[in-house]
Structure 1
Amino acid sequence: MKITWQKNDAKEVTLKNFLLRQGVSQRLYGKIKKGYGTVYLDGVKTAVPVLLPKKVELTLELPPDPPEEHVAPSFAPITILYEDEHWIVVDKPAGLTSVPGPSNQTDTLVNRVKGYLITKKDGTQTPRIITRLDRYTSGVVLFAKHSFGQTLLAKQKAMLDKRYLALVFGKVTPEHGLIEEPLGRLADSFCYGVVSDGKPAKTEYWVKGHAHETSLVAVKLHTGRTHQIRVHFSANGHPLLGDKLYGGSQELIARQALHAQKLDFIDPFTAKKMTFEAPLPPDMQTLIEHLGL
């Protein structure tokens, strides 16, 4: 893996200070200083530490992350929305678990992305999931191909713009609103709920239409609490259709009617805005058409 930066400022600076400004951690710089990876200045390999001149192209070459042997590859198909040397964006189907857990160690989205990378001989076998979704939520999921990318995005995680579409029971009012109620795990339960000593949570929504005791809402997450959208709407009397865990009827759809439609973020390597969208899956598209929304 190679990352290149162009230094164009007017003063000299140490390699350490420059790399720290780019998001390299103190720990990673310590490893680089001890010989982990290679530093090039204008294409020429250089010793570390070094004082950088006023203008220079700096390339940092890092070895691939060691493979996580406990994560088995799955070669089941996946839908790739985007891929480059740093990122993979996937359209996750409803029903597929995001990460390995006690009930499924071998065929989750993480297992499938690892199998995909092995098949294409990408050079990395350790995909890092950035935006995970509940098992029965469909849509956009972002992976970093290496731990450095994961670290950089973690520093700007609040800047990830995650947008969803949901079908909920009842007529939601007002047409645009914020739900700001603290969330936490309920005692002796797998469920989450609104609790006074919970973590702050903020959900913004826009109503796209009403019909047949159902509202279609667009949702933006300002925080990323477990089951946040499902709990916030259920607590306000509007459970998601199909969400049996939080009181939603399964008469019209067998899973929670929630789709991660769009994701925006600033690529820390290029400073460019990246935007990805996943089309509505057939079950939600059919239901929306059936309801006339």
Structure 2
Amino acid sequence: MEITVDLHADETCPAKAYLMRTRGISSGLWKRIKHSGTFAVNGVPAIAARTMLRAGDIVSYELPIVSSITPEQLPLSIVYEDNDLLVIDKPAGQLVHPTTKEAHGTVANAVLGLYTARGISLDFHPCHRLDRNTSGLLLIAKRPEVQHQIARTHTLERTYLALIEGAITPTSGTIDAPIARALPSIILRHVAPDGKPARTHYEMVWTNGEHTLLRLRLETGRTHQIRVHLAHLGYPLLGDDLYGGNTERITRHALHSTQLTLSQPCTHEGLTITAPLPEDMTEIVHHISIS
């Protein structure tokens, strides 16, 4: 990593303060930089914690990547990419991270495989989660400081499309209901007074009375948030057998990450990235519409 310091001509600033303010460096990442043994100013090795920066200085450092994820050459649908970000359209059925039982075939394996094929040394830094059977857009930072800045600034807005049975009433609104683990299960969640705050905004896109297509926007990002909130209202996602959804038309929960809106963390450009409904959900809407 190489950074040119942008300060007024007579201004100085500690390296830590400058990097945290301008590059989104977290305190944890600063410790890694400080102890990496690679910190240099204008090509000269320096002690990071004692360095004062001036206008025009060139700061450089490298961070060793310690990852247990195996790079794999797998299909990867890239929707958007720049120097800092990668956005993919994830298919339903694919895990984002490897687990102890499934160490291969995940998005993480595929992304590291992409980097390896390009001959670049980067790790896997997803900026949010998607369940295995949720399809659609996943935002990935190429460096940890970019991931931290997105989390810190809260500029990422996620929009989903979902299919439910019935005609929801009211046709738009906000579900403000805390979510907690449904113990003793380690998987199930439910609405509970002692849960973490969770807010989901929804609006009806289409309905024929028997089925409805919803657009939903997450204000928080709890595990299974949309699935739990809709089931709590009595409208579980089609195909979501975990929360009571009908599986006759689709065998996975009918939820798709359709739009990401954010401020690019380094250029501050406004980005809106979209992905259309996948085939299994499109077929349901088309079939329902003409039946």
The alignment's TM-score, normalised by the length of structure 2, stands at 0.88
1:255 match: secondary structure:
coil
Change (3 A) 1:61 1:274: farther
Percentage of matched positions with identical amino acids: 36
* 1:90-239 superposed matches below 5 A: 90-124=88-122, 126-156=123-153, 158-189=154-185, 190-239=187-236
Residue of structure 2 in register with 1:257 after alignment: 254
Cα distance change of structure 1 residues 253 and 35 upon mapping to structure 2, 3 Å threshold: closer
C-alpha contact (below 8 Å) 2:167/2:209 kept by paired residues: no
Return the alpha-carbon distance in structure 2 between the equivalents of residues 2 and 274 of structure 1: 25
- Are positions 1:77 and 2:86 aligned together? no
**Cα 1:60/1:152, change in 2 over 3 Å:** farther
Q: Could you list the per-position Cα deviations for residues 71-99 of structure 1 after superposition, in whole angstroms to 9, with x for gaps in the alignment?
A: 12221211111223322111100011111
Unpaired stretches in structure 2, ≥5 consecutive residues: none
- Change in CA separation of 1:98 and 1:242 when aligned onto 2, cut-off 3 Å: same
Match of 1:279 in 2: 276
1:30 deviates by 5.2
Which amino acid in 2 is paired with 1:85?
N
| C-alpha RMSD over aligned residues | 2.4
TM-score, normalising length: structure 1: 0.88
Runs of 4+ in 1 over 6 A off after TM superposition: none
Output the CA distance in 1 between the equivalents of 2:177 and 2:170.
17
1:168-187 deviation line (CA, Å, top 9, x unaligned): 11111222200011111112
Which deviates the most, 73-82 or 19-28? 19-28
Deviates more, 1:188-197 or 1:10-19: 10-19
Task: Give the match for residue 14 of structure 1.
Answer: 14
Q: Secondary structure at the match of 1:259?
A: strand
Q: Which residue of 1 aligns with 2:65?
A: 66
Give aligned pairs, total: 286
Query: Could you say what secondary structure the match of 1:290 adopts?
Result: helix
Q: 1:102 to 1:289 in 2, by over 3 A?
A: same
Q: Distance in 2 between matches of 1:188 and 1:138?
A: 28
Deviation at 1:18, TM superposition (A): 2.1
Change (3 A) 1:25 1:137: closer
**Post-superposition offset of 1:36:** 3.8
Structure 1, unmatched stretches of 5+, are none
Q: More deviation in 241-250 or 263-272? A: 263-272
Structure 1 residues 87 and 213: alpha-carbon distance in aligned structure 2, compared to 1, 3 A threshold: same
The 8 Å contact of residues 36 and 62 in structure 2, kept in 1 or not, is answered as: no
Contact kept in structure 2, 1:64 and 1:123, CA below 8 Å: no
Q: Structure 1 stretch 217-226 or stretch 5-14: which is displaced more?
A: 5-14
What is the identity, as a one-letter code, of the residue corresponding to 2:179? L
